[in-house]
Amino acid sequence: MENTADFKVYEQQIWEDISIYLYGTAVYAMDLAMLNNRSVTEDIEPGKVIKVFTDKEMNRLVLYSLQSNSSVPATAVDLSHMEPEPEGIGYWIIKKNFIVT
Protein backbone atom coordinates (compact mmCIF):
# COMPACT_ATOMS: atom_id res chain seq x y z
CA MET A 1 0.00 0.00 0.00
CA GLU A 2 1.37 3.36 -0.99
CA ASN A 3 1.63 6.11 1.58
CA THR A 4 -1.23 8.57 1.44
CA ALA A 5 -2.40 11.70 3.19
CA ASP A 6 -5.50 13.89 3.08
CA PHE A 7 -5.72 17.01 0.93
CA LYS A 8 -8.46 19.63 0.75
CA VAL A 9 -9.28 20.64 -2.82
CA TYR A 10 -9.23 24.34 -3.73
CA GLU A 11 -11.92 25.94 -5.80
CA GLN A 12 -11.85 25.15 -9.53
CA GLN A 13 -9.06 22.61 -9.27
CA ILE A 14 -8.92 19.65 -11.61
CA TRP A 15 -6.83 16.52 -11.06
CA GLU A 16 -3.98 17.93 -13.18
CA ASP A 17 -3.94 21.09 -11.00
CA ILE A 18 -3.70 19.05 -7.81
CA SER A 19 -0.90 16.94 -9.29
CA ILE A 20 1.05 20.05 -10.35
CA TYR A 21 0.40 21.80 -7.02
CA LEU A 22 1.64 18.84 -4.97
CA TYR A 23 4.32 17.27 -7.15
CA GLY A 24 5.23 19.92 -9.76
CA THR A 25 4.08 17.70 -12.62
CA ALA A 26 0.74 16.71 -14.13
CA VAL A 27 1.65 13.05 -14.63
CA TYR A 28 0.08 11.84 -11.37
CA ALA A 29 -3.37 13.24 -12.25
CA MET A 30 -4.65 9.87 -13.42
CA ASP A 31 -3.20 8.02 -10.41
CA LEU A 32 -4.76 10.54 -8.01
CA ALA A 33 -8.17 10.19 -9.67
CA MET A 34 -7.93 6.40 -9.47
CA LEU A 35 -6.80 6.50 -5.85
CA ASN A 36 -10.00 8.38 -5.06
CA ASN A 37 -12.19 6.16 -7.25
CA ARG A 38 -13.01 9.04 -9.55
CA SER A 39 -12.65 9.69 -13.25
CA VAL A 40 -9.89 12.02 -14.39
CA THR A 41 -12.45 14.00 -16.41
CA GLU A 42 -14.81 14.42 -13.45
CA ASP A 43 -15.13 17.76 -11.61
CA ILE A 44 -14.08 17.80 -7.94
CA GLU A 45 -16.18 19.69 -5.44
CA PRO A 46 -14.22 22.55 -3.78
CA GLY A 47 -13.35 21.77 -0.15
CA LYS A 48 -13.60 18.02 -0.71
CA VAL A 49 -10.98 16.05 1.20
CA ILE A 50 -9.23 13.59 -1.10
CA LYS A 51 -6.39 11.11 -0.65
CA VAL A 52 -3.02 12.05 -2.12
CA PHE A 53 0.29 10.22 -2.40
CA THR A 54 3.14 11.22 -0.13
CA ASP A 55 5.86 9.20 -1.81
CA LYS A 56 5.88 10.43 -5.40
CA GLU A 57 8.89 11.94 -7.10
CA MET A 58 8.59 15.74 -7.27
CA ASN A 59 9.75 18.38 -9.72
CA ARG A 60 11.20 20.76 -7.13
CA LEU A 61 11.92 23.54 -9.62
CA VAL A 62 8.26 23.85 -10.55
CA LEU A 63 7.18 23.56 -6.91
CA TYR A 64 9.65 26.25 -5.88
CA SER A 65 8.40 28.55 -8.63
CA LEU A 66 4.75 27.98 -7.60
CA GLN A 67 5.46 28.51 -3.91
CA SER A 68 7.56 31.65 -4.43
CA ASN A 69 4.64 33.19 -6.34
CA SER A 70 2.05 31.74 -3.91
CA SER A 71 0.36 30.22 -6.95
CA VAL A 72 -2.35 27.60 -6.63
CA PRO A 73 -3.15 26.04 -10.01
CA ALA A 74 -6.93 26.04 -10.54
CA THR A 75 -7.92 25.82 -14.16
CA ALA A 76 -11.35 24.19 -14.19
CA VAL A 77 -13.80 25.77 -16.58
CA ASP A 78 -16.96 26.83 -14.81
CA LEU A 79 -19.61 26.67 -17.51
CA SER A 80 -22.13 28.55 -15.35
CA HIS A 81 -19.94 31.66 -15.57
CA MET A 82 -19.72 31.54 -19.34
CA GLU A 83 -22.10 33.78 -21.20
CA PRO A 84 -23.33 32.20 -24.39
CA GLU A 85 -22.42 34.38 -27.34
CA PRO A 86 -25.22 34.94 -29.81
CA GLU A 87 -24.66 33.13 -33.08
CA GLY A 88 -25.82 33.90 -36.59
CA ILE A 89 -24.98 36.02 -39.57
CA GLY A 90 -26.26 39.12 -37.83
CA TYR A 91 -23.64 38.77 -35.07
CA TRP A 92 -20.62 37.36 -36.85
CA ILE A 93 -17.76 39.70 -37.69
CA ILE A 94 -16.04 39.33 -41.05
CA LYS A 95 -12.53 37.82 -40.78
CA LYS A 96 -12.95 37.34 -37.01
CA ASN A 97 -15.53 34.64 -36.56
CA PHE A 98 -17.07 34.78 -40.02
CA ILE A 99 -14.36 33.34 -42.19
CA VAL A 100 -14.97 31.89 -45.60
CA THR A 101 -12.37 29.30 -46.52
Which residue in 26, 63, 74, 76 binds other proteins (CB under 8 A)? 26
CA 21 to CA 5: how far, in whole Å? 15
**Site membership for other proteins, residue 17 (CB under 8 A):** no
CA 87 to CA 29: how far, in whole Å? 36
Q: Render 13-59 in DSSP notation, one character per residue.
A: --HHHHHHHHHSSGGGHHHHHHHTT--TTS---TT-EEEEESS----
**Site membership for other proteins, residue 76 (CB under 8 A):** no
Our CB check for other proteins shows the closer of 27 and 58 to be 27
**Site membership for other proteins, residue 32 (CB under 8 A):** no
| Burial of residue 53, with CB atoms counted within 10 A of its CB: 0-12 exposed, 13-18 middle, 19 or more buried | middle
Which residue in 7, 16, 17, 24 binds other proteins (CB under 8 A)? 16
Our CB check for other proteins shows the closer of 5 and 40 to be 40
**Site membership for other proteins, residue 40 (CB under 8 A):** yes
Residues in touch with other proteins (CB under 8 A): 16, 26-27, 29-30, 34, 40-41
